[in-house]
């Protein structure tokens, strides 16, 4: 953990303000999740390790079609987040890698710890807010706005993000349109793309 990562975690914890009647409710993902999250693990069985996540260690090799490797840490992967309204992710970019345009149910704050990326979002008035970030820079993406990140450096890049929901979800526009069960003719109509282009996109995701 470098200083920047510690800083972002400090910021996240400092933002917690809502009062709850238990000190914590480490989730039990073996039980069904309701709208408010998971049922609490028996507090007598909770240990320090329940509050420590080690899955951000090491190299994350970007080997998908977008040239990224996203390690999402929502309450299902790190049940200590349950009920706290926070979550995190580590974003690794290969050279030229991107996180394609997407949104969450929540806001997101990003800190760049390696490399150089363009990060941005687009508001409901179609105004794009984007900038090349340097190591140490922080950018916020307001709740539900479509946003993206592009590695524009000559080396791999790494960023960490935090989101103000334990289960913020991620909805990637290209995969919602072309990787799921939406028929090609509907995708074509709702995007104004050509049939040829829709088929090309669906082939990338193995759905045509
Ligand atoms: C992310 O990196 C890990 C560790 O190198 C690897 O096991 C995993 O397959 C990678 N995932 C993607 C989507 O690239
Ligand atoms: C929306 O964008 C237009 C220019 O594209 C601008 O004139 C207008 O003031 C904007 N509206 C808001 C609410 O930001």
61 lines ligand 1 (CB under 6 A): yes
Under 8 Å between Cβ of 166 and 17? no
Would the annotation count 195 as a binding residue?
A: no
CA distances from 182 to 29, 170, 193 (A): 30, 18, 14
Would the annotation count 18 as a binding residue?
A: no
Q: Which two tokens stand for residue 165?
A: 């929901």
Query: Can you give the pLDDT of all 208 residues of the chain as single tens digits?
Result: 566 565 555 444 444 444 457 899 999 999 888 888 999 999 999 999 999 999 999 999 999 999 999 999 999 999 999 999 999 999 999 999 999 999 999 999 999 999 999 999 999 999 999 999 999 999 999 999 999 999 999 999 999 999 999 999 999 999 999 999 999 999 999 999 999 999 999 999 999 8
Would the annotation count 102 as a binding residue?
A: yes
Strand order in the sheet with 128-133: 128-133, 117-122, 146-151, 98-103, 171-172
Q: Kindly state the helix (H) or strand (E) to which residue 177 belongs, with its residue range.
A: helix 173-178
d(CA 139, CA 143): 13
- List domains and CATH numbers for the chain: 1-168 (2.60.120.10), 170-208 (no CATH)
**Torsion sign over Cα 79, 82, 86, 91:** positive
pTM of the model as a whole: 0.86
Cα of 189 from ligand 1 centre, angstroms: 35
Nearest CA to ligand 2 atom 11: 125
Cα of 8 from ligand 1 centre, angstroms: 23
């Amino acid at each position: 953990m470098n200083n920047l990562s510690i800083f972002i975690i400090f910021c996240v914890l400092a933002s917690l303000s809502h009062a709850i009647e238990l000190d914590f409710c480490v989730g039990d993902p073996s039980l069904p999740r309701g709208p408010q999250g998971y049922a609490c693990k028996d507090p007598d069985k909770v240990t320090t390790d329940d509050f420590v996540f080690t899955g951000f260690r090491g190299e994350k090799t970007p080997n998908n079609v977008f040239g990224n490797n996203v390690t999402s840490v929502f309450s299902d992967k790190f049940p200590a987040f349950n009920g706290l309204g926070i979550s995190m992710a580590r974003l690794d970019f290969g050279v030229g890698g991107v996180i394609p345009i997407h949104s969450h149910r929540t806001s997101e704050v990003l800190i760049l710890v390696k490399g150089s990326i363009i990060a941005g979002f687009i508001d409901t008035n179609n105004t794009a807010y984007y900038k090349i970030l340097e190591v140490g820079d922080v950018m916020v993406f307001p709740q539900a706005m479509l946003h993206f990140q592009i590695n524009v450096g000559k080396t791999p890049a790494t960023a960490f993000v935090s989101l103000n929901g334990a289960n913020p979800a991620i909805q990637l526009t290209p995969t919602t349109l072309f990787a799921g069960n939406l028929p090609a003719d509907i995708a074509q109509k709702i995007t104004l793309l050509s049939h040829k282009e829709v088929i090309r996109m669906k082939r990338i995701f193995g759905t045509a």
